[in-house]
Amino acid sequence: MSETVRLDRVEEITLDRVRHVALLARLELGEEEAVRFSRELTGIMTHINKLGELDLEGVEPTSHAIPTANVFREDTARPGLSNDEGLANAPEKDEGCFKVPQII
Amino acid sequence: MEFEPVIGFEVHTELKTNSKVWCGCSTEFGAPPNTQVCPVCLGMPGSLPVLNRHAFDIALKVGLALNCSIPERTYFDRKNYYYPDLPKNYQISQQYEPLGRDGWFDIELPDGSCKRIEIDNLHLEEDAGKNIHPEGQMHVDYSLVDLNRAGTPLLEIVTRPDLRGKEEAEAFMRGMKAFLEYLGASDCKMQEGRLRFELNISVRPKGSDVLGQKVEVKNLNSMSVVLKCIDAEIERQSALLEQGGRVAQETRLWDEEKFETRSMRSKETAYDYRYFPDPDLVDVVIDNAMKERLAAEIPELPLARRARFVSQYGLSDYDARVLTAERQMAEYFESAVSVHNNPKTLANWMLGEMKSRLNEMGEDATADDFPVRPAALAELVRMIDDGSITGKIAKTVFPEMVASGKSPSAIVEEKGLKPLDDSALEPIVRKVMADNPKMVEDVRGGKKKAIGGLMGQIMRATQGKANPAVVTPMIERLIAESEG
C-alpha cells in the first residue's frame, strides 16, 4: 500500500522515486531523463509545498469545490457506441476487440 | 509439525442491474465483444461518470444485511494501475470511506453449528474488461481486449481471516452465494464470472494464535477450484515452513493445469495504487430514511427461511436446508405448496427427481430454469393424492413433463395412464389371486406382508395403472367372499 505523500515533508524527488513512478506509469526513462525529472519534479514539489504554509486549522479536507451530494442516474440501459465507433481510435484491432501486446 | 490454515476471503460480485455503474451501457452477459461500450466506460477524455442509483442501493442493502456500520457520508476513490482491461488507467473504488465496515456473516457448518465470520469492509467499485488470449494458434504475440464488462457494478466484500479449513471455506462460499441470491444482489453465476472468490491464506502451527505470512490467490473461478487451491497452498506453505523457509508476501495465480499456484511477477504486483478521491463523482450522504427504506427491502434470509420451513411445513431439517440453499428452489417450493398443500411429498419430488435433473442441466441451472413450473408439479402431486394416478405412473409422467413442458393431466389423458377402474381391475386381481394360491393362503392366514407380493404381480399385470389404495381392500374383499 502506498504511503501518502505529505506536501510538507517532500524535500526531494529522488532518482529512486522517479524510477518508481516511471515504472508505475509504464514509462521507459533514460538515465539523463531520470536525472532531469528528478530535478524538475523537486522544483515543482517545492513550489507546491508553499500551500503547506497556509493555516488550515479547522478546515475540512474536500475533493470538491461545490457542496453537492447524492447525484444519481436511474438504472436504465441505453445503446452505446457501435463496435466500429468504439474501436475507431484503436491502434490495432482484431475480431471486434482491441489488440494489445501479449499479456501474461 | 501439524499446521492449520487461516483463511479470509475477498468476495467480488457483479450486481444485478440493467446498466453499468457509471454509464447506461447494458450489463447483459454474452454480447459480441465491445458492443456494450460508450465514451464513459471506454475511458474517453472528457467523459464523466454518474452513479447508478440502483447499484448503490443494492450495495447498501448488502451492507445493512451484513450488519455493517454504515458511514453518514461515503465517496469514491481512484485506484491507479495500468492494465489493458482498465481503459481509464484507474479503477473507481472505495478506499478511505467504504460503504460498510465491521459487519458479520453467520455460516452454518455441516455438523449444524454456526460460526460468525467477521466482515472487515464492503465497498462498491467497477469491474474491469476481459482479456482474451487467443488459443490454438502458433506464435501468438498479442492479446485481445473486450470492454463490455468494464464498468459493471462490482461489490467487494472483505472478510477477516476467520476461517480455519476447507469445510468452513465451503460453508462460507455456499452461504454467501445463497445470501446474495436471496437479496437479489447478484445472480451469482460463477461460470459467467458474476461471483468470484479470492483467497487470503496462511498457515501456522496448530494451536498457535500468531498469524503466519498470508498469500493472496486470484484466478479461482469455481468453488471446487477454491477448495483445491486451499489444499495446494496448505501443502506448499507447510513444506516451506518445515524446511525452515519463509512464505513470501505475494499474490499468486491458480494454475488450472498444474493444480498449483504460481507467483505473479513482482512488476505486476507493484502495490502502489496512489488512491485519491475521484473528483468526477460527488459524495453520497446516507441518511436514516435511506437506510430504513433499504432495510425494509431485506427479505427473509436463508437461515431464517429454513427454520420456518421446519416449523411451518413440518419438513425435516435436512430437507429444509437443501430447499433453502438457493432462493429459486425455496420460492419454487412455496409456490408449489400454495397450489397444493402437501409439503412433504412436494419436497420429496423436488429433492429427488427435480434436483437430479437440474444437476444434469449444468452447474448454474436454478429452479427458475426448470421446465416444469411449480403449479405443474403441484398438479402432479395432487393427482397422486386424489387417486387420479398412481405414484408409479407419476414417475413416468414426470420425465414427459420435463421433456415436453405439458401439464400432467394432458400427458395422462394422451397416454391413457389413468388408473383402472374397479370393473377393469377386478378380473385382473382375480386372475393374479388364482395364479398365486400360496400367497392368497398366506394372506388368509394373517401374513400381511403377503399382500405386497400380490400387489407386485398386479402392478406388473396392469403396467402400474392399479391404485394400491384400491387394490388392497379389493384383495381383502375377494378373500372374504371366497371364505363366505
User: Residue B176's closest CA among B162, B163, B192, B157?
Assistant: B157
Phi and psi torsions of B120, nearest 5°: -75, -55
User: Are the C-beta atoms of residues B234 and B247 closer than 8 Å to each other?
Assistant: no
CA distance A55 to chain B (A): 22
Model confidence band, residue B271 (pLDDT cutoffs 50, 70, 90): low
CA distance B389 to chain A (A): 49
SS3 B78: strand
* Average pLDDT of span A89-99: 95
Q: What is the ipTM of this complex?
A: 0.84
Which chain A residues are closer than 8 Å to B26 by Cβ? 77, 80
Write out the three cell numbers for B307: 427454520
Model confidence band, residue A10 (pLDDT cutoffs 50, 70, 90): low
User: Residue B132's closest CA among A42, A8, A98?
Assistant: A98
Size of interface A-B (CB pairs under 8 A): 142
The pLDDT of residue B115 is 95
The pLDDT of residue A6 is 52
Secondary structure (H, E, C), B384-451: HHCCCCCHHHHHHHHHHHHHHCCCHHHHHHHHCCCCCCHHHHHHHHHHHHHHCHHHHHHHHCCCCCHH
pLDDT in tens, B168-178: 999 999 999 99
Task: Examine the pLDDT at B200 and tell me if it is beyond 90.
Answer: yes
The pLDDT of residue A8 is 52
Say yes or no: B350 and B255 in one domain. no
* Average pLDDT of span B267-287: 83
CA distance A40 to chain B (A): 21
Domains by residue range for chain A, with CATH:
1-53 (1.10.20)
Task: Examine the pLDDT at B450 and tell me if it is beyond 90.
Answer: no
Task: Pick B144's closest partner by Cβ from A64, A71, A99.
Answer: A99
- CA distance linking residue B9 with residue B201, whole number of Å: 9
Contact A75 B23 (CB under 8 A): no
Task: Pick A96's closest partner by Cβ from B32, B131, B283.
Answer: B32
Would you tell me how many other CB atoms lie within 10 Å of the CB of residue A53?
9
Secondary structure (H, E, C), A36-70: HHHHHHHHHHHHHHHHHHCCCCCCCCCCCCCCCEC
Residues 6+ apart with CB under 8 A from B328: B181, B366, B367, B368
Say yes or no: B411 and B430 in one domain. no
Contact B143 A70 (CB under 8 A): no
Contact B26 A77 (CB under 8 A): yes
The pLDDT of residue B484 is 62
Contact B50 A72 (CB under 8 A): yes
User: Are the C-beta atoms of residues B415 and B464 closer than 8 Å to each other?
Assistant: no
Say yes or no: B396 and B349 in one domain. yes
Q: What is the CA radius of gyration of chain A?
A: 22
Q: Report A:65-94 residues touching B (Cβ under 8 A).
A: 68-78, 80-83, 86-87, 92, 94
Looking at B134-276, list the stretches that DSSP marks H as alpha helix, in order from N- to C-terminal side. Answer: 166-182, 223-242
Write out the three cell numbers for B401: 413433463
Say yes or no: B168 and B288 in one domain. yes
The pLDDT of residue B478 is 87
Question: DSSP letter at A103?
Answer: P
Task: Examine the pLDDT at B483 and tell me if it is beyond 60.
Answer: yes
Q: Is residue B272 within 8 angstroms of chain A, CB to CB? A: yes
The pLDDT of residue B300 is 92
Model confidence band, residue B447 (pLDDT cutoffs 50, 70, 90): confident
Residue to substitute from A97, A99, A100, A102, interface B, most B β-carbons within 10 A: A97
* Average pLDDT of span B311-332: 92
Q: Which of B360, B394, B415 is the last residue of a domain?
A: B415
Which is more confident, B52 or B477? B52
User: Are the C-beta atoms of residues A12 and A46 closer than 8 Å to each other?
Assistant: no
Contact B144 A63 (CB under 8 A): no
Q: Is residue B75 within 8 angstroms of chain A, CB to CB? A: yes
Say yes or no: B125 and B56 in one domain. yes
Residues 6+ apart with CB under 8 A from B336: B346, B350, B374, B375, B377, B378, B381
> Which residue's C-alpha cell is 473507481?
B92
Contact A69 B50 (CB under 8 A): no
Lowest mean pLDDT of A94-103, B108-117, B266-275, B433-442, name the range: B266-275
Say yes or no: B223 and B346 in one domain. no
Contact A99 B282 (CB under 8 A): no
**Burial letters B375-403, b for 16+ CB under 10 A, else e:** ebbbbbbbbbeeebbbebbbebbbebbbe
pLDDT in tens, B104-161: 999 988 888 889 999 999 999 999 999 988 776 667 889 999 999 999 999 999 999 9
Which is more confident, A98 or B396? A98
The residue segments making up the domain with residue B465 are 422-483
Say yes or no: B349 and B376 in one domain. yes
Say yes or no: B145 and B272 in one domain. yes
Would you tell me how many other CB atoms lie within 10 Å of the CB of residue B99?
23
Contact A63 B276 (CB under 8 A): yes
- CA distance linking residue B75 with residue B277, whole number of Å: 7
Residues 6+ apart with CB under 8 A from B306: B317, B320, B321, B323, B324
Contact A102 B142 (CB under 8 A): yes
Query: Which secondary-structure segment (H or E) carries B255?
Result: strand B251-255
User: Residue B242's closest CA among B202, B204, B215?
Assistant: B204
Task: Examine the pLDDT at A56 and tell me if it is beyond 60.
Answer: yes
pLDDT in tens, B76-91: 999 998 889 999 999 9
Contact B282 A71 (CB under 8 A): yes
pLDDT in tens, B55-83: 999 999 999 999 999 999 999 999 998 88
Q: How many CA atoms lie within 13 A of B132 on its CB side?
A: 19
Which is more confident, B215 or B449? B215
User: Residue B357's closest CA among B392, B403, B317?
Assistant: B403
Which chain A residues are closer than 8 Å to B27 by Cβ? 77
pLDDT in tens, B282-306: 999 999 999 999 999 999 998 889 9
* Average pLDDT of span B451-457: 87
Q: Which of B244, B269, B293 is the last residue of a domain?
A: B293
Query: Which secondary-structure segment (H or E) carries B482?
Result: helix B468-483
Say yes or no: B371 and B435 in one domain. no
Contact A26 B284 (CB under 8 A): no
Mean pLDDT across chain B: 91
CA distance A43 to chain B (A): 21
Which chain B residues are closer than 8 Å to A17 by Cβ? none
Say yes or no: B350 and B229 in one domain. no
The structural domain count of chain B equals: 3
The pLDDT of residue B138 is 67
Q: Which of B293, B322, B354 is the last residue of a domain?
A: B293
Phi and psi torsions of B139, nearest 5°: 55, 40
Q: Is residue B278 within 8 angstroms of chain A, CB to CB? A: yes
CATH number of the domain where residue B454 is located: 1.10.10.410
- CA distance linking residue B242 with residue B210, whole number of Å: 17
Say yes or no: B324 and B460 in one domain. no
Say yes or no: B374 and B280 in one domain. no
